[in-house]
Structure 1
């Protein structure tokens, strides 16, 4: 199975505007953080008898709603800035950027699906999906800073800070749960 985080990389040829690369990375981070926040809330309200399919649906609806909002916002912003609806390559880039939100939720949904079919407890699947997203946040941050004009230790700090923030969300929910 292909890792959706691998889709974060964008064709870096000169005809790809830097604003598109920024948009793709921003939407992927936003999608991962939002999915992590959703999982953290769901973990609090998941009992032993909670169906894994309900949690798959919860995350799917959350990610789908966020994706639709992102797509609509981008469409309206394009109308305002360009005076017309996005066409051709602009429309494809808009879909690629906003689609990062759905891709960020893909593996967590698969993990929850494993719980839904009974191979894991639903609560265990929620925690595994949450920790996966913490790792993904670190990976996405590394993709973002790997070529930045920063020293190696500054890159490590950037990755560590974002991953630690994600881990803090999970740990606080574990303690509160």
Structure 2
């Protein structure tokens, strides 16, 4: 599930930053864009998982294996729920959409750190290797932010 959470979190971060850099999107527009992007990402990951299974096992996934693939994807969606909550609050008038997008970006970066920690906390690697892995993930997260800033002249 960590792999799927990383995919969905990075995709969400890129979308949230792109939306924040495009003038003043409404909460509804932001919710729709994020929802469509995540739906597309989930379908892409699902397709990749099924095709990978076929290549490795030379057969279609069984019903149990298919439930596992779908369950993993559904569970991974929980990791990107916060932006929907923040944008829902913006749609209800509690926040401005722009503030919700910025708060979502921060929450997604924190989520990436937590995902990274979960990935390395029990690994049989040294503390400095853990630090390198977490640092690399942080650099990649910052690269997403940097690419969005370059793309939007910010």
| TM-score, normalised via structure 1 length | 0.74
1:24-173 superposed matches below 5 A: 24-47=1-24, 50-170=25-145, 173=148
- Residues 1:37 and 1:152: Cα distance change in structure 2 (over 3 Å): same
Q: Give 1:82 shift.
A: 3.6
Supply the RMSD in Å over aligned alpha carbons: 2.3
Residue 46 to residue 85, structure 1, CA distance change in 2 (3 Å)? farther
Mark the CA change 1:58 to 1:142 in structure 2 (over 3 Å): closer, same or farther. Answer: same
CA contact 1:33–1:166 (8 Å) conserved in 2? yes
Structure 1: unaligned runs, 5 residues or longer = 1-23
Q: Which has the higher contact order (CA 8 A, sep 6+)?
A: 2
Q: Aligned partners of 1:167 and 1:118: how far apart in 2?
A: 30
- Cα offset, 1:91, TM superposition: 1.3
Tell me how far 1:121 sits from its aligned partner.
0.9
Unaligned ranges ≥5, structure 2: none
Q: Distance in 1 between matches of 2:129 and 2:47?
A: 36
- C-alpha distance in structure 2 between counterparts of 1:150 and 1:77, whole Å: 28
TM-score calculated relative to the size of structure 2:
0.84
Change (3 A) 1:127 1:81: same
